[in-house]
Amino acid sequence: MKIPLFSSSLIIFLVLAISISPSHENQSFLQCLETNSNPSYPISSLVFSPNNSSFPTVLQAYIRNLRFNESTTRKPLFILTAQHESHIQASIICAKSQGVQMKIRSGGHDYEGLSYVSNVPFFIVDMFNFRSINVSIEDESAWVEVGATLGEVYYRIAEKSNVHGFPAGVCPTVGVGGHFSGAGYGDSDRLLSLLNQSFPELGLERKDCIEMSWIESVLYYTNSPITPIDALLSRSPPLSYLKRKSDYLQKPMSKEGLEFIFKKMIELQTPTILTFNPYGGRMSEISPLAKPFPHRDGNIAKIQYSTNWNEKGVEASNHYLNLTRVLYNYMTPFVSKSPRLAFLNYRDIDLGITHNGKLSYFEGKVYGIKYFKKENFNRLVKIKTKVDPQNFFRNEQSIPVYPSWRN
């Protein structure tokens, strides 16, 4: 099966939010948006405030973690469902002039909701209208806008070819904006030859396998093996309350270690699932310093802690959050150390947050070296400081800038 790597163009767009109230400040912001956007693409009808009856529907459309859909969750001042590049440009101009934080939402799959929640006044720029996908089989490339989902990308490739694919993530409703910028993990591989090489004693033959097309395998990995492929176009995944954490395994776990963890999971009565994604092979040949994503050579597997629950309320959430953290602590002896590494796209604010103040570099360093390792983190901070010295483009776990006294 041919699995070429498709290139993509991510148009980076941003987010706004403001309360549409009679206040002079809010009217000024809305006027700023209209003034700075292309008049051929009116913007006013694309702005939804809490006073608008459609506001809850627009807000909740891309909330993927019900923990952040409570009545107590801080809401954006408004949501801009941008449709044209000028809307993005206007958002940036007005957010800077008005001092309001922007949040950018593609698919809404950030595990900690950082694309649609904040502890400070903010607005959202929703990117779901930017979902154009142009696939060229001739040059084996694809141009993809940031609001498209992985499922839509897979579907459009399969429309053009039965022998091409794209090795990205398993969940089809993940937005490409977050997936490509933070790195993802897929399941495309030559499993038969790998198994025969690693475990020849199994005597695995082709007749022992189920043969299917690449696009059918995408649905198979989502636990939907008999679902029509147009299900990949759906943007409405099942929702629950959830918490995720991550680890990296750098030495094999002993049988006794595994038994210890299984015993603790039973004692805790936790619904947490531990998923081990094996590393190695070609990945081990790539230096941790080659790209911002450092978790290649030296890692046996990536671990995801997945906890889902359906009970509503803060008390239930605190209970399941605590169970996840306790299990994570029990895993300490078996995983990477100094620092204990983590995967950026399994977002975990337990690792720390930054408050965009004088200490933001030092706050960001706490989680930054876990996501990127020290050398890569410092290189990213250097670039960030040069490109965005005011730290305008940010979230609670973004790359910070160096403190002013270092410049």
Which residues are designated catalytic? 346
340 close to 370: Cβ distance less than 8 angstroms: yes
Residue position matching structure tokens 């403190």: 403
Q: How many Å apart are CA 151 and CA 158, to the nearest integer? A: 11
Q: Is the dihedral of CA 305, 311, 316, 319 positive or negative?
A: negative
The pairing of beta strand 273-278 with beta strand 301-309? antiparallel
271 close to 265: Cβ distance less than 8 angstroms: no
Task: Kindly tell me the number of DSSP H helices and DSSP E strands found in the chain.
Answer: 11, 9
Q: How many Å apart are CA 13 and CA 127, to the nearest integer? A: 7
Find how far residue 250's CA is from the centre of its chain. 24
Cβ burial of 352 (10 Å; 0-12, 13-18, 19+) is: middle
